Amino acid sequence: MSYRIGFIGAGNMSAAILGGMVKQGVAPDRIIASNRSTPKLEALAGEFGIQTTTDNHQAAGADVVVLSVKPQMMKDVCLDLAPHLDHKPTIVTVAAGIPMASYEQWLGRDHAIVRCMPNTPSLVGKGASGLFANAQVTDAQRQRVESMMQAVGITAWVEQEALIDAVIAVAGSAPAYFFLMMEAMIDQGEAMGLDRATARALTLQTAAGAAELAATADVPVDELRRRVMSPGGTTEQAVFSFEADDIRAIVARAMTRCANRAAEMAQEMGN
């Protein structure tokens, strides 16, 4: 690809996406990131060799502009950028909880805007992003955004905007669920007598191995689970314990709260 990409806001999510892009071979001089303060910019320039600026207008001069500030900052950032988008970039926003209608109000209705819900494993090329386009997005722009995000992982278009909140629950926020599980396992491995480094190494390798096996096996994940559960053996005691504690309901409640929060955030911002 040869177009230029500008990131507005150089925090965790921008670092994951642009860092993943550079690691996957995107030329760093095609990427510019802006941030209101300089320390993160210096770190990103040092690590990935991208261009940086404290002037959002400069980053917004790119062909694809990725809006990646916290949702609470988004309105002010968009209103400030609006007079500087006459070159009609493809606008991609990664913010949770801000509906398309708000961007169209702040930036103008004639802009091609994609709501993208990515996640931080983009940094290692294992991202998972949901995408929703407004009516102004052309097929060429769809392909451009898709290929941009596919440089750092897989993508899935949704045709109903409300499904972006489901993507937040399944992908955007979901790395944290797995990290939490790993934290708990490492702590318990240590409590059972392993040194922490060993508990960590075994936990992480098992998580990565299980994910890769699930992604490549020709059977569903429940069958893979059963293959570990020897009748009368050890694993089923752990699984029975999870089921007795209603892990499926626990997960469903957590994901529902996650998705509901996106709707609440929209309301809090008066959208």
Ligand X SMILES: NC(=O)C1=CN([C@@H]2O[C@H](COP(=O)(O)OP(=O)(O)OC[C@H]3O[C@@H](n4cnc5c(N)ncnc54)[C@H](OP(=O)(O)O)[C@@H]3O)[C@@H](O)[C@H]2O)C=CC1
Ligand Y SMILES: O=C(O)[C@@H]1CCC=N1
Residues that bind ligand Y in the complex, under the rule CB under 6 A: 96, 168, 172-173
Which member of 172, 203, 258, 259 binds ligand X (CB under 6 A)? Answer: 172
Which member of 19, 20, 22, 40 binds ligand X (CB under 6 A)? Answer: 40
SS3 state of residue 90: strand
- In the structure, how many helices (H) and strands (E) does the chain have? 12, 8
Which member of 36, 126, 225, 226 binds ligand X (CB under 6 A)? Answer: 36
Instruction: State the distance between the two ends of the chain, measured CA to CA, in whole angstroms.
Output: 35
Q: How far is the CB of 93 from ligand X (least distance, A)?
A: 8
Which of ligand Y, ligand X, none is residue 127 near (CB under 5 to 8 Å by kind)? Answer: none
Binding site members for NADP(+): 8-13
Q: How far is the CB of 168 from ligand Y (least distance, A)?
A: 5
Q: How far is the CB of 173 from ligand Y (least distance, A)?
A: 4
Of 86, 266, 79, residue with least CA distance to 164: 266
Binding site members: 8-13, 56
SS3 state of residue 97: coil
User: Which residue in this structure is represented by tokens 């060993």?
Assistant: 198
Which member of 35, 102, 141, 203 binds ligand X (CB under 6 A)? Answer: 35
Minimum CB distance to ligand X smaller for 78 or for 199: 78
Q: How far is the CB of 9 from ligand Y (least distance, A)?
A: 13
User: Which residue in this structure is represented by tokens 């992908």?
Assistant: 171
Which helix (H) or strand (E) segment holds residue 141: the answer is helix 139-150
Using CB under 6 A as the binding rule, the residues of this chain from 73 to 132 that contact ligand X are 73, 77, 94-96, 117-120
User: Which residue in this structure is represented by tokens 């770190």?
Assistant: 43
Minimum CB distance to ligand X smaller for 172 or for 189: 172
Q: Does 66 engage in binding with ligand X (CB under 6 A)?
A: no
Q: Dmax over Cα atoms in the chain, in whole Å?
A: 68
Binding site members for NADPH: 56
Positive or negative: CA dihedral 217, 218, 222, 224:
negative
Minimum CB distance to ligand X smaller for 10 or for 22: 10
C-alpha–C-alpha distance, residues 203 and 209, integer Å: 10
Which member of 12, 188, 235, 260 binds ligand X (CB under 6 A)? Answer: 12
Q: Which two tokens stand for residue 37?
A: 């303060």
Q: Give pairs for 35-41: CB < 8 Å, separation 24+.
A: 35/9, 35/10, 35/11, 40/10, 40/11, 40/15, 41/10
∠15-209-183 over CA atoms, to 5°? 60
Which member of 31, 34, 92, 151 binds ligand X (CB under 6 A)? Answer: 34
Interacting residues with ligand X (CB under 6 A)? 8-14, 34-37, 40, 56, 68-71, 73, 77, 94-96, 117-120, 172
